[in-house]
Amino acid sequence: MQTTIELYFDIAQKRGQRVAFRHRVGGVWRDTSWAENARTVRQVGRALIALGVPPRGSVAIVGPNRPEWILTAMGAQAAGGAPVGIYVTSPADQVAYIVAHCEASVAVVFDQAQLAKLRTQQAALPALKTIVLMTGKGDGPDVLGWAEFLARGDATPESEVDRRMAALGAEDVATLIYTSGTTGTPKAVMLTHRNLVESMERLADYLRLDRDGEVQLSYLPLSHIAEQLLSIWGSCKLGNTIGFCEDLEQLGELLREVRPTVFFGVPRVWEKIQAKMVEAAAQNSWLKKKIAAWARGVGRRAGQARAERRSLPGGYGLARKLVFSKVRERLGLDRCRMAISGAAAISKATMDFFTSLDIPLCEVYGMSESTGVMTFNVPQTFKTGTVGCCVPGFELKLAPDGEILARGVHVFRGYFKSPEATAETVDSDGWLHSGDVGELDAAGFLRITDRKKELFKTAGGKYIAPQYLEGLLKAIPGVGHVAVVGGDDRKYVAALLVLDPVAAPRVAAGLGVTATPEQLAEHPVFNEHLGRELEKINAGLARFETIKKVKVLAREFSVDGGELTPTLKLKRKVIAEKYAAEIAALFEDSPRSARTEA
């Protein structure tokens, strides 16, 4: 079989002058063709060889979503090596740990701020010889600007690139994915060329992706397997056009300009879009609200009809013309054939919201160790409340304790330099132990119940699945992030509720309260609203699952604050430490009824 870099050059030759990258600089879009990018990738490979990157060596990359990131990743493979992505939000010591662990002799970083992280850790990086800046000029023999870096490639003959690529095999490492580290030191997932090529082949068939190329907006960290799969390795198969978004704050604007045909969002991104849409809808006239309510009813029935393979309901065509098409256009999703959610659990309320607007979210389940994918809830095999069925060509089963196991060509080669951790994750029969607990129905649809390691036991001996409860609590109007807490012989379940800075003031206005999120966290009327919603949720739970107390926080969890990973998952250990006093106060007594603590 071909390696990913061979596929890349093949598709580049076929695509020629068609647009490969779209990157907005200073408000002006710059398009580059597949042919132009292919020439640059070869030059990057030549430069890396000239700088001493050995065959099967590693090249570290620290930067936002921009052309240089992908050009470096493919150039690393052209040099016979593998790219190693590092999150831009990683602290200096973690950046240094990864650069040292993967033995990178060259690191390509975004700017002076990322350069400074390496400078402060230089003593711990004896193997690192050269740092390349994506932006700005170099300031010495060991720090090169991008143009100067490319010029170094002139010293390497083209034949050396060809020789190194030809020496790569299907089982060689194509990329190292360092886990984002919700707990402990990040591990390096070794994904081979076979993992990437065969997984993308099966996925392209299953999702019915356009073999003539899709249009995507790259905005999630390129260090993450989901973004790599879509923006890099998927392009090697499909020849996609990639638009870049360096700043998440510009996502809405760039969505409308790029108009992707496939769009992937983590749950928090979909929740943010939902909050802004609800906020905008609140300003509509009475008549528009009535029309929207009718259309959303039609959208819900249409979603159910699709899931049950029935004809679309009456009025769907009119609802699409009056409401759905306009909503899609305003969001920049008018060309989107597939809207995807993944990387973490998404609440049913958010799924239902987008379904009602005729934007059904296809949920994907996977992990870096499974090349990003195990199951997919796609339109042709869809079931609400699940993450879909196993992708054809892969295997899936449950262990006796409910842990989800996977086997197939998508299962990784192992953890770099960690055979012990590899043996703990992949058993002797080749089954990948996911660490997630789930349920499989008779039709093969998978429902995730929680992370095995995140389950905790109350003092009464009952196991609690925090993600399930968090999904229910996040559906409370005005609530953003939620962290369910308990265990450690505590008698009941409690939670930290973080107010959504957009939705909370809107909900408060409906209660006759005008206040900032900080003020709302302690406002009695708003807390009464939360208490009423909490009682509704508790009414549908088993007694041992009910949330007895909550603490309302005004400030959002964030990546910079340390509570979230770069893909916006909860860092439970950090939250437990950072809010130790607030959590301890939740368990000072054992009340008989649910209430909120301002």
What pLDDT, in 10s, does the model give residues 4-35? Answer: 999 999 999 999 999 999 999 888 999 999 99
In this predicted structure, the answer to whether residue 171 has a pLDDT above a threshold of 80 is yes
Structure tokens at 239: 């020849």
Mean pLDDT of 263-274: 88
Quick one: average pLDDT of 500-524?
Answer: 87
pLDDT at position 105, please?
A: 96
* pLDDT attached to residue 564: 84
The overall average pLDDT reported for the chain is: 89
Assign a CATH topology to domain 455-597: GMP Synthetase; Chain A, domain 3 (3.30.300)
Same fold, 4-257 and 263-452: yes
Q: Give burial (CB, 10 Å; 0-12/13-18/19+) of 516.
A: middle
Three-state secondary-structure class, residue 159: helix
Structure tokens at 316: 């769907």
How far, in Å, CA of 172 to CA of 5, rounded? 12
- Fold classification of 263-452 (topology level): Rossmann fold (3.40.50)
Helix, strand, coil percent content, the chain, rounded in steps of 5: 40, 20, 35
Kindly indicate the confidence band of residue 216, based on its pLDDT and cuts at 50, 70 and 90.
very high
Distance between CA atoms of residues 337 and 209, nearest Å? 9
Torsion of CA 333, 204, 412, 129, to 10 degrees: -60
Q: What does the domain layout of the chain look like in residue ranges?
A: 4-257, 263-452, 455-597
Between 182 and 197, the higher pLDDT residue: 197
Q: What is the pLDDT of residue 140?
A: 79
Category of 477 on φ-ψ map: left (φ > 0), alpha (ψ -120 to 50) or beta: beta
- Any idea which residue has 């107390």 for tokens? 549
Residue 524 has pLDDT above 60, yes or no: yes
Q: Which residues contact 461 (CB under 8 A, 6 or more apart)?
A: none
Instruction: Tell me the one-letter amino acid at 541.
Output: L
pLDDT band for position 591 (cuts 50, 70, 90): very low
> Residue 60 is encoded by which pair of tokens?
């570290």
Give the sheet arrangement for strand 403-407, strand by strand.
Answer: 395-398, 403-407, 432-440, 446-451
For the cut 50, the answer to whether the pLDDT of residue 521 exceeds it is: yes
What does the pLDDT look like over 364-417, one tens digit per residue? 999 999 999 999 988 778 888 889 999 998 999 999 988 999 999 999 999 999
What gap in Å lies between CA 375 and CA 363, rounded to an integer? 9
Of 17-31, 32-46, 350-364, 581-595, the range with the lowest mean pLDDT is: 581-595
Residue 590 has pLDDT above 60, yes or no: no
Sign of the torsion formed by the C-alpha atoms of 379, 382, 386 and 389 = negative
In angstroms, how far is CA 500 from the centroid of its own chain? 20
Q: Tell me, which fold does domain 4-257 have in CATH?
A: Rossmann fold (3.40.50)
- Residue 70: the pLDDT is 98
Least Cα distance to 296 among 335, 352, 337 occurs for 352
